[in-house]
C-alpha cells in the first residue's frame, strides 16, 4: 500500500508554466484570456490596415499605396476584424463567464476548448501571410464575390484555408458552449433563470453551427473553381456568380447577429448592475433575441437588391428585414426601461454600454433606411453602407466588448483599472468614432463608392475629417492597451462587489477557484 502511494505521488508534479502552460491549458479562464489577447492583437493589426485605407483616402489622388494593395487592405481589414477581432473577443467572454455564471467547473469539453483556441493563431497568420503570397493578397473584398476571386493570386487560397480553420474553431467552440449550457448548470438554474449573457451565447452558438458550414461551402466551391475545373460560379460552364452571393449572405446576414447578439448579452448584464435594478423584461429579452436569430436566416438577399431579382422578391426581403426592427425595438425598450429611474452611476463600463445603446440604435436606423429597395439601389456600395455597418460593428459590438472588459476585469484579474483613464478612453473613443464615421453617411449620400482608392474632388473635405477621426480613434485604442497593462501590473485590489451591484451581480460574491491545469485531475463538484 505504502509503495503504491509513493508511486502515485511521483506523478504529482507541478503544473507546467510559461508557454507550455498556455499551449496545453484546458482551463476556461486561461483559454478565455488567450482569446481576448488574440482578439486585441488582431484588432490592432486590422486597425493598422484601416489606417492605411484612411491614409490613402486622406486626400484625392493616388499617393500612398498601389490600388491592388488598397484592395487587399479593405479585404483583410474586414476579415481580420470580423473573424480575428470581434468574434474571438466574445468567445473569450463566453469562456470566462459562462462557467462562472451557471456554476459549472469548466467548459464541457476542455481539451476541445484548447484546440478551438489554438486553431486561431495559424488562421491569423495565414490571413496576414497572404499579403506576401505570390500574386499578392486577396483583393476581392471580405465578401469574396465571384468571379473576382478567380483572378486573384495565391493569397486568395491562403485566405480560403484561413476561413476553413476559423470555421472549424467557431463550430467546435459553439458545440462546447451549447453542451456546457444545456448540461452543466447548477441545480435549480432553469433555462429561464440563466443570466441573459448566457442566453445570448446559447442562441449565438446555434447560429454559428448553422451558418459556418455554409461559408465553408462557399469558399470551398471558390477553391475548386480556382483549381479543380469546376464552374459553380462561372456562367461559361453553366454556373452562376450570383449564386455565390446567395450562399455568402445566407451565412453573412446571420453573421451580423453572431456578432451583435453576444454584445446584447454583455450590455444586458451591465445596465442592471449600474442601475441597481433587475433587467426589465427578462422573458421578452429571451424571446426577442430568439426571434432576431430566426429572422436573421430569412433576410439575406437585402444585400443583393441590385443583382436583378424580381420585384416580388425585393418586396419580400424588404418587409422581412423591416420585421427585425420589432424584436430589436423590444430590446432597446427593455434596456431603456432598465435604467429608467435606476440609481445610476457612470463608471466606464456603463459609459460604453450607453454609447452602445445610442450608436448601435443609430446603426440600426440606417440599416432600416438601407432595407428600403429604392433607397438601397441608390446607396448600394457607397460609403453610406460603410458608415452603417461601422456603427453596428464598432459602436455596437466593439463598445459592448469594451464595456464587458471594464465590467469583468476586476473579476478576472482581482484588480481595478484606473477609472479616470477608462473615462478618457471612452470619451476619446466615442468622439473620434463619430468624427471618423458620421461624415461617411454624407459621402455615401453624395455618391462616393466604397473600396476605391481615389475619389472626385467634391468628397475631399469629409474624407479628410474622417481620416483625422480614424487616427484619433486608433490612438485611443493604444491608450486602452496602456490602461489594461497598468491595471494588470499595478491596479488596486478589487473589492468583492466592485460595482456595488444589485442582485443580478450575485455571482461576483462567489470566490472562483484558482486556475488549475486540467491535464491534471479536475476538481470534482460535490
Ligand atoms: Cu443583412
Q: What is the CATH number of the domain that holds 371?
A: 1.20.210.10
What is the distance in A from the centroid of ligand 1 to the CA of 303? 6
Known catalytic membership, residue 403:
no
Sequence-ordered list of residues with C-beta below 8 angstroms from that of 316, at least 6 positions apart, any chain? none
What is the reported pLDDT for 338? Answer: 92
Q: How far does residue 256's CA lie from ligand 1's centre (Å)?
A: 7
How close is the Cα of 296 to the center of ligand 1, in Å? 8
Which residue is catalytic, options 22, 35, 96, 142? Answer: 142
Query: Would you state the pLDDT for residue 12?
Result: 56
Residues 6 or more apart from 108 whose CB is under 8 A from it? Answer: 176, 179, 180, 183, 184
Q: Return the bridge partners of 493, or none.
A: 415
Distance 407 CA to ligand 1 centre (A): 30
Alpha carbon of 57 to ligand 1 centroid (Å): 26
- All cell numbers assigned to 237: 460552364
What's the CA-to-centroid distance between 388 and ligand 1, angstroms? 11
Whether residue 526 lies inside any domain: the answer is no
- The Cα 516–Cα 29 span in angstroms is 9
Alpha helices in 340-418 (DSSP H): 348-371, 373-379, 383-390, 399-413
Q: Is 142 a catalytic residue?
A: yes
The answer to whether residue 515 sits within a structural domain is no
Of the candidates 360, 357, 394, the one whose C-alpha atom is nearest the C-alpha of residue 268 is 357
Has 21 been annotated as catalytic?
no
Q: Which residues pair with 31 in a beta bridge?
A: none
Give CA–CA dist 209/407, Å, rounded. Answer: 29
- Number of structural domains found in the chain: 1
Helix or strand or coil: residue 523?
A: coil
Enter the C-alpha cell of residue 69.
494593395
Give the pLDDT of residue 299: 97
In a domain, 170, yes or no: yes
Q: Is residue 84 part of a domain?
A: yes
Q: Is 390 a catalytic residue?
A: no
187-191, Cβ contacts within 8 angstroms, sequence gap of 24 or more: 189/102, 189/103
Q: How far apart are CA 151 and CA 216, in angstroms?
A: 20
Closest CA to 485 of 92, 47, 37: 37
CA pair distance 344, 352, nearest whole angstrom:
14
Beta bridge partners of 415: 493
Q: How far is the CA of 187 from the centre of ligand 1 (A)?
A: 39
For the residues of 66-104, what is the DSSP string, one character each? -HHHHHHHHHHHHHIIIIIIIHHHHHHHHHHHHHHHHT-
Which residue's entry shows cell 484561413?
A: 162
pLDDT of residue 41: 97
Candidates 29, 331, 388, 390; catalytic one? 331
Write b or e for each residue in 224-246: b if 16 or more Cβ atoms lie within 10 A of its Cβ, otherwise e.
ebbeeebebbeeeeebebbebbb
d(CA 275, CA 268): 11
371, 321 contact by CB (below 8 A): yes
* b/e burial code for range 22-41 (CB count within 10 A of at least 16 → b): bebbbbbbbbbbbbbebbbb
What domain range includes position 339? Answer: 2-509
The closest alpha carbon to 101, from 395, 404, 480, belongs to: 404
185 is catalytic: no
Catalytic hit among 303, 425, 441, 451: 303
- Determine whether 257 is an active site residue: yes
d(CA 49, CA 58) in angstroms, rounded, equals 14
Catalytic residue at 303? yes
Distance CA(476)–CA(427), nearest Å, equals 9
Instruction: Let me know if residue 63 belongs to a domain.
Output: yes
d(CA 151, ligand 1 centre) in Å: 27
Catalytic hit among 30, 106, 157, 376: 106
What is the SS3 assignment for 207? helix
Please say whether the beta carbons of 77 and 46 come within 8 A. Answer: yes
> What string of H, E and C letters represents the secondary structure of 250-282?
HHHHHHHHHHHHHHHHHHHHHHHHHHCCCCCCH
164 Cα–ligand 1 center, Å: 22
pLDDT tens for 1-12 read 444 444 444 455
Q: Is 169 a catalytic residue?
A: yes
Choosing from 253, 388, 390, 425, the catalytic residue is 253
In a domain, 112, yes or no: yes
Position 514 in a domain: no
* Spatial contact of 91 and 35, defined as CB atoms under 8 Å apart: yes
Whole-number Å distance between alpha carbons of 270 and 340: 14
Instruction: Output the pTM of the full model.
Output: 0.92
The gap between the terminal CA atoms of the chain, to the nearest Å, is: 27
CA distance 200 to 205: 9
Query: pLDDT per position in the chain (526 positions), as tens?
Result: 444 444 444 455 677 888 898 999 999 999 999 999 999 999 999 999 999 999 999 999 999 999 999 999 999 999 999 999 999 999 999 999 999 999 899 999 999 999 999 999 999 999 999 999 998 899 999 999 999 998 899 999 999 999 999 999 999 999 999 999 999 998 888 899 899 999 999 999 999 999 999 999 999 999 999 999 999 999 999 999 999 999 999 999 999 999 999 999 999 999 998 988 888 999 999 999 999 999 999 999 999 999 999 999 999 999 999 999 999 999 999 999 999 988 899 999 999 999 999 999 999 999 999 999 999 999 999 999 999 999 999 999 999 999 999 999 998 998 999 999 999 999 999 999 999 999 999 999 999 999 999 999 999 999 999 999 999 999 999 999 999 999 999 999 988 778 876 444 444 434 344 334 333 344 444 4
> 52 C-alpha to center of ligand 1: Å?
27
Q: Is 331 a catalytic residue?
A: yes
What is the whole-number distance in angstroms between the Cα of residue 379 and the centre of ligand 1? 15
77 given a catalytic annotation: yes
Does residue 525 lie within any of the structural domains?
no
Q: What is the pLDDT of residue 501?
A: 64
512 a catalytic residue: no
CA-based angle 110:113:114, to the nearest 5?
95
Ligand 1 center to 251 CA (angstroms): 10
Residue 104 CA to residue 476 CA, distance in Å, equals: 36
Amino acid at each position: 500500500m505504502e509503495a503504491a502511494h509513493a508511486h502515485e505521488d511521483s506523478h504529482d508534479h507541478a503544473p507546467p508554466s510559461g508557454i507550455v502552460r498556455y499551449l496545453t491549458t484546458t482551463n476556461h479562464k486561461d483559454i478565455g484570456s488567450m482569446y481576448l489577447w488574440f482578439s486585441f492583437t488582431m484588432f490592432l493589426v486590422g486597425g493598422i490596415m484601416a489606417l492605411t485605407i484612411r491614409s490613402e483616402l486622406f486626400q484625392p489622388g493616388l499617393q500612398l499605396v498601389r490600388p491592388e494593395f488598397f484592395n487587399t487592405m479593405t479585404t483583410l481589414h474586414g476579415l481580420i476584424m470580423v473573424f480575428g477581432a470581434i468574434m474571438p473577443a466574445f468567445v473569450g467572454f463566453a469562456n470566462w463567464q459562462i462557467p462562472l455564471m451557471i456554476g459549472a467547473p469548466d467548459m464541457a469539453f476542455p481539451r476541445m476548448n484548447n484546440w478551438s483556441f489554438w486553431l486561431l493563431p495559424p488562421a491569423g497568420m495565414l490571413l496576414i501571410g497572404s499579403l506576401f503570397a505570390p500574386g499578392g493578397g486577396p483583393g476581392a473584398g471580405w465578401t469574396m464575390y465571384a468571379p473576382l476571386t478567380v483572378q486573384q493570386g495565391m493569397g486568395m487560397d491562403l485566405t480560403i484555408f484561413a476561413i476553413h480553420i476559423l470555421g472549424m474553431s467557431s463550430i467546435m467552440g459553439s458545440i462546447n458552449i451549447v453542451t456546457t449550457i444545456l448540461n452543466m448548470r447548477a441545480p435549480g438554474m432553469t433555462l429561464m433563470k440563466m443570466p441573459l449573457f448566457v442566453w445570448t451565447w446559447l442562441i449565438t452558438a446555434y447560429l454559428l453551427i448553422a451558418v459556418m458550414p455554409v461559408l465553408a461551402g462557399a469558399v470551398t466551391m471558390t477553391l475548386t473553381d480556382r483549381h479543380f475545373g469546376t464552374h459553380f460560379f462561372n456562367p461559361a460552364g453553366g454556373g452562376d456568380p450570383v449564386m455565390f452571393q446567395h450562399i455568402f449572405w445566407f451565412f453573412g446576414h446571420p453573421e451580423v447577429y453572431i456578432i451583435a447578439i453576444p454584445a446584447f448579452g454583455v450590455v444586458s448584464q451591465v445596465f442592471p448592475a449600474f442601475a441597481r435594478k433587475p433587467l426589465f423584461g427578462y422573458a421578452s429579452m429571451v424571446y426577442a433575441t430568439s426571434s432576431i436569430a430566426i429572422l436573421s436566416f430569412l433576410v439575406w438577399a437585402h444585400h443583393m437588391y441590385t443583382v436583378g431579382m424580381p420585384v416580388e422578391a425585393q418586396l419580400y426581403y424588404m418587409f422581412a428585414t423591416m420585421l427585425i426592427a420589432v424584436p430589436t425595438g423590444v430590446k432597446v425598450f427593455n434596456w431603456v426601461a432598465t435604467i429608467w429611474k435606476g440609481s445610476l452611476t457612470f463608471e466606464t463600463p456603463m459609459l460604453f454600454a450607453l454609447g452602445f445603446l445610442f450608436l448601435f440604435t443609430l446603426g440600426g436606423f440606417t440599416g432600416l433606411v438601407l432595407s428600403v429597395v429604392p433607397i438601397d439601389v441608390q446607396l448600394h456600395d457607397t460609403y453610406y453602407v460603410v458608415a452603417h455597418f461601422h456603427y453596428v460593428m464598432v459602436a455596437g459590438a466593439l463598445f459592448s466588448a469594451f464595456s464587458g472588459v471594464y465590467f469583468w476585469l476586476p473579476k478576472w484579474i482581482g484588480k481595478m483599472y484606473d477609472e479616470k483613464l477608462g473615462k478618457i478612453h471612452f470619451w476619446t473613443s466615442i468622439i473620434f468614432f463619430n468624427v471618423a464615421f458620421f461624415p461617411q453617411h454624407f459621402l455615401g449620400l453624395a455618391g462616393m463608392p466604397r473600396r476605391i482608392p481615389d475619389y472626385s474632388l467634391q468628397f475631399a473635405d469629409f474624407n479628410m475629417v474622417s481620416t483625422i477621426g480614424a487616427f484619433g480613434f486608433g490612438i485611443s485604442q493604444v491608450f486602452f492597451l496602456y490602461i489594461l497593462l497598468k491595471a494588470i501590473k499595478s491596479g488596486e485590489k478589487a473589492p468583492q462587489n466592485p460595482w456595488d451591484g444589485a442582485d443580478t451581480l450575485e455571482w461576483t460574491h462567489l470566490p472562483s477557484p484558482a486556475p488549475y491545469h486540467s491535464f491534471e485531475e479536475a476538481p470534482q463538484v460535490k
